[in-house]
Structure 1
Amino acid sequence: MRVAADEMSGLLPLTTSPHSSRRCSDVSSGPRSLLLCSARVRAGLQIHRRARFYRSFTCRVNSSDPLSEGAGGGSQDYGWSCDDGGVVWDASRLARAVGGDVVQWGSPGSICTDSRKINRGQWFLALVGPKFDGHDFLQQALDRGCAGVIGQNVSSDWPRGFIRIECSLDALHLLATYVRRLYRGPVVGITGSTGKTTARAMTSLALKSLGHVHQTEGNFNNHIGVPLTLLKLPFRNSACILEMGMSAAGEMEVLARIAEPSVRVLLNVGPAHMENFEKLEHVAAAKGELFSCARPGDVCILNADDPLIMGLILPPAVQVIFFGRRAGCHVKLVEAAVTEGGRGVHVILEQSSYGSITVENFNSGSQILENLLTEKPIHTHPQKPFDGAAVGRDYHSRTVFDISSPGLHLAMNACAAAAVAVALRIPVEKVCKTLSEYSPVGRRSRLEQVGNVHILDDAYNSNPMSLESSLRSLSYMDSKNRRVAFLGDMLELGRVSEDAHQTALALCTELQLDYVGLVGQCFAKAAMSLGMTTNNFNSFEDSEQLAKQVDFILEPGDTVLVKGSRGMKMEAVVDAIRRMTIT
């Protein structure tokens, strides 16, 4: 059975109350092409740095399709049902969505790409990458009770459903795009060189008053993770927050065209993944792809303190909101101060009395902000200042709250989250209570006391921007004894690697840290170049070697930061400290 992509109807219907939506209208307004320009997409779960490919494919939604008619505001309003694995599809609609062949029928179910985690009744999408082939794990998927396979081939005696496709990655993107096109609520896309996960978690708290918020889990922020997150999106959720990452030019555009965020946030631009870029301006341009395909009416939220972001050109007819410390910001960070002996942050935000700005022509963020400051602001929300406190000129409300986690950088992430709330018509003063509930996600500046040692576990990842923030956080913390840093190499920095590692070591000296343990060749080379071969700076070949020495290095009352790139496996050091203090 051959089903054309222009007959798309991908989901099981769920009758709901009608709502209007610009993007839902797009789906049902007649045959419409969606071009997914997958420039430099990752081929599989890992990017092959020197083997990028370009793909483009088109899917059209036919207005005669019953699901499309419902979504477009016909007599019935359709959504979709979900099981524990996400959005549920039947075989015929799966085939229509991806333009594939139904070779064998299977029961309705959600989609899974990991044969080790597939639940009974799910469809297994056999992804193919440079180092793996999902078709090698069909038997495992069958043993776990899959409803069928979406792939290129199966054995002649395959007993379950089978939908034949040409490219599994294209199929994943098409399915996610279709779900996104039918979703009624706001979709927030967040990117930046550092702080994406923290800002995403804070944004979820800031939007708590809207109801249940669907968001990225773990590190699902690439061309596989973003579609999978959309494929788990419940129809009735109030909002969806997507963390969006990239390591090369073209990748952010792919994610943006799949996710079509109605609110697009760029936190910062710094030296990350520099092995794929010649200079920071190229990183900014790659991050800025989030804005380049924005539609009229989409909200673009910019960090006004970052000149690289402010230099990006925005498309016409988008709405712009600024956050940061500069005058003219819609959400202004007035104050950020350490509290609780460096273990918390005091934050003061102000919300401006004028609304978002509509871009009339192609303009940079700097030009837009300059125009805003030279023109008389329009006071659209005349309200009393927060608690009667004095606020800055052109600001109508102030909110004050505390975050019980270390790191002044959290204040700027909170400012960005508040800007998203403002974009969705939630006043800043309403989000202060929920933002104060923030706690670190995973191994990201998580403070814990194990025995008589305090650990600042920031072992998840590292780049120059995040490392500087973490080192300063350590320096602000009260310690009964020494301040110790165990630092793993920052990877994927290319030509700026040597300078970045030397700068980090110079900062350790400036902050007068008592002991620095270095893991990896990059830090070892930097220490040698700077003549840092004293007892205060020691190098180790890998994290396992350092882990064996922590019992001899640490002293009672020490406060220790552990940080490094994922490839350095610095979590082994944290685990060793935990074992040391227990035994």
Structure 2
Amino acid sequence: WSVSEIAEAVNGKIVKWGSPGTICTDTRSLNTSTIAAGQWFFAITGENFDGHDFITSDLYSKGCVGVIGNKVCENWEWGFVKLQEEEDDCQNTLIALEKMGIYARNKFKGNVVGVTGSVGKTTTRTMIAIALENLGLVHQTNGNQNNQIGVALTMIGIPGNAQVAVVEMGMRRKGEILKLAGMCRPSIGVILNVEPAHLENFGCLKEIANAKGEILKEMKPGDICVMNADDPLVMSLPVPLGVKKVLFGRRMGSDVRLVVAENTNGGYGVRVVLERNTEMVEFVIQSPGLHLALNACAAAAVSGVLGVSLPEFAYSLPRFTPVNMRSELDIAENGVRIINDTYNANPTSTKAAISLLKGIECRGKRVAILGDMLELGPAEVEAHETVLSLCCVASIDMVALVGKKFISAAEKLKLSGTKKVICSLDSEALALQIAESINKDDVVLVKGSRSMKMETIVDAIKAIPLEPSV
């Protein structure tokens, strides 16, 4: 980005000229710790942080060539683009960031794939990016940056030689997907599913479906919408005139059909058979979890739209590995096999994780450590009871629960106080308790909403001093 482009994009004023450079597109750079040589620091202001607090003269020694924001420190001698003043400094930096994202989208001439849904966004986005690699450089969302800031940063970070951008789009409330879609304007929109995630912010699942369907409102004739044929709520969404609908799923008549999804390699892999236009391919995903098969089916539908043949897709997908903290298999040095699924949790993803645990070959105990599922509103009581009941019928050897919601469910089902169930109000306390119950060769699922801090338990299990298997 040149300083002129930056100023034009954010509608700002060039106070000091600076060298061309990239923009800090990792939100961790808010504390300037990840700034690389030749970067401009965008000083975002939020409710609980202010990027301007980290603007000091030693930023230049770290490689920063300029600042985009409301102010700089005294004796700042390098580039500075000053944003337009607003009553709310927090809003003006976010508005400017969004403008810059839109400016970047206007410059980008390649395809933008927008991925939304209640579950599976990050996994599917990663699979799509892998499948499209033969087309040229693929730019994709970094980590889980799928909100207003994250999508803007994704667009701003598109390299000039990229052919495709794959953008993950998340939401917690009505109107958020519409805002993201207005910023990235996907030429290919993907709606994976509608499930009870963030339900407390909506009256019913239909309202969640309508919120996900906001991605369609920015689509124009000639664009393509890839939809889950197995999900009635997804299929009920009206597609704009002139937008082509491409279907994936198990349902007959799907453009890409999931024919077979079954565990293999002792449950540590998934054998998948897909069909498109009477052509069938078979491949193995080297990760546990049958739910991965439908993610792969969606990715095949997207890549097919962009010219990737089904055999090419089948050849590329075995390179997929789980995204950090999402059904990530970690074999600890002490011999315990940990399924680290601690990034987030809702009823659908938790049921899938329990099914994954049930299907895995195990020489020790199968242990499910579950943290409360949040933002479920009136459905939370039934949801936690249903998950616990599933653990019982799935023959899980031990269940450990973190949080008031799961503890209440255990009490209602008369499971608390039994040898099979351990309860704790917080993850740190459970981390101390669970060490006595885990043995080498156990397979342990750790699952919970992000704010439950379930990764603390993963670290504690790894630290248990057990003699590993030979």
Task: Name the TM-score class by shorter chain.
Answer: over 0.9
Are positions 1:502 and 2:420 aligned together?
no
Are positions 1:348 and 2:258 aligned together?
no
Are positions 1:448 and 2:322 aligned together?
no
CA–CA separation in structure 2 for the residues paired with 1:443 and 1:225:
19
SS in 2 for 1:336: strand
Counterparts in 2 of 1:145 and 1:207: CA distance versus 1, 3 Å: closer
CA–CA separation in structure 2 for the residues paired with 1:448 and 1:99:
47
1:512 to 381, 391, 395: 395
Are positions 1:105 and 2:17 aligned together?
yes
Correspondence 1:179-328 to 2 at 5 A:
179-328=104-253
| Contact 2:21-2:40 within 8 A present in 1 as well | yes
1:423 to 282, 296, 305: 305
Q: C-alpha deviations, 1:114-145, integer Å up to 9, x for none?
A: 22322344222111111122222222645635
Post-superposition shift, 1:337?
0.8
| Contact 1:342-1:473 within 8 A present in 2 as well | yes
Counterparts in 2 of 1:160 and 1:556: CA distance versus 1, 3 Å: closer
SS in 2 for 1:127: coil
| Contact 1:453-1:581 within 8 A present in 2 as well | no
Matching residue's letter, 2:245: V
1:162 to 77, 80, 84: 80
SS in 1 for 2:143: coil
Matching residue's letter, 2:284: D
Matching residue's letter, 2:323: V
**Which segment is superposed worse, 155-164 or 433-442?**
155-164
Post-superposition shift, 1:92?
2.3
1:542 to 426, 429, 454: 426
2:452 to 568, 573, 577: 568
Q: TM-score, normalised by structure 2?
A: 0.92
CA–CA separation in structure 2 for the residues paired with 1:211 and 1:478:
39
| Contact 1:336-1:345 within 8 A present in 2 as well | yes
More helix by share: 2
| Contact 1:116-1:141 within 8 A present in 2 as well | no
Are positions 1:116 and 2:7 aligned together?
no
SS in 2 for 1:123: strand
| Contact 2:336-2:462 within 8 A present in 1 as well | no
SS in 2 for 1:301: strand
Counterpart residue number, 2:49:
132
Post-superposition shift, 1:267?
0.7
| Contact 2:384-2:405 within 8 A present in 1 as well | yes
Please give the root-mean-square deviation of Cα atoms over the aligned residues, in Å.
1.6
Matching residue's letter, 1:438: F
CA–CA separation in structure 1 for the residues paired with 2:19 and 2:134:
37
CA–CA separation in structure 2 for the residues paired with 1:116 and 1:238:
30
Post-superposition shift, 1:421?
1.2
CA–CA separation in structure 2 for the residues paired with 1:165 and 1:220:
23
SS in 2 for 1:287: helix
Counterparts in 2 of 1:283 and 1:141: CA distance versus 1, 3 Å: farther
Structure 1: gaps (5+ residues): 1-88, 353-395
Counterpart residue number, 2:101:
176
Counterpart residue number, 2:87:
none
Correspondence 1:376-455 to 2 at 5 A:
396-450=278-332, 451-455=334-338
| Contact 2:55-2:73 within 8 A present in 1 as well | no
Counterpart residue number, 1:50:
none
Counterpart residue number, 1:378:
none
CA–CA separation in structure 1 for the residues paired with 2:6 and 2:290:
47
SS in 1 for 2:337: strand
**Which segment is superposed worse, 140-149 or 406-415?**
140-149
| Contact 2:23-2:42 within 8 A present in 1 as well | yes
CA–CA separation in structure 1 for the residues paired with 2:413 and 2:235:
35
1:462 to 333, 345, 355: 345
Counterpart residue number, 2:412:
529
CA–CA separation in structure 1 for the residues paired with 2:291 and 2:63:
46
Post-superposition shift, 1:110?
1.8
| Contact 1:207-1:421 within 8 A present in 2 as well | yes
Counterpart residue number, 1:479:
362
CA–CA separation in structure 2 for the residues paired with 1:173 and 1:324:
34
Counterparts in 2 of 1:217 and 1:286: CA distance versus 1, 3 Å: same
Matching residue's letter, 2:15: V
| Contact 2:342-2:454 within 8 A present in 1 as well | yes
Counterpart residue number, 1:152:
70
Superposition misfits of 4+ residues, deviation over 4 angstroms: none
Post-superposition shift, 1:159?
2.6
Bigger Cα Rg: 1
Post-superposition shift, 1:518?
0.1
Post-superposition shift, 1:471?
0.2
CA–CA separation in structure 2 for the residues paired with 1:286 and 1:305:
19
CA–CA separation in structure 2 for the residues paired with 1:399 and 1:249:
39
CA–CA separation in structure 2 for the residues paired with 1:170 and 1:452:
50
Structure 2: gaps (5+ residues): 85-91
| Contact 2:83-2:93 within 8 A present in 1 as well | yes
Post-superposition shift, 1:582?
5.4
Counterpart residue number, 2:89:
none
Identity of aligned residues (%): 47
Matching residue's letter, 2:51: G
SS in 2 for 1:554: coil
| Contact 1:90-1:109 within 8 A present in 2 as well | yes
Counterparts in 2 of 1:562 and 1:90: CA distance versus 1, 3 Å: same
SS in 1 for 2:174: coil
Matching residue's letter, 1:100: G
Post-superposition shift, 1:155?
4.9
Are positions 1:553 and 2:465 aligned together?
no
CA–CA separation in structure 1 for the residues paired with 2:43 and 2:298:
37
SS in 1 for 2:162: coil
CA–CA separation in structure 1 for the residues paired with 2:275 and 2:458:
38
CA–CA separation in structure 2 for the residues paired with 1:237 and 1:133:
32
Matching residue's letter, 2:406: F
Matching residue's letter, 2:398: Y
Post-superposition shift, 1:341?
1.5
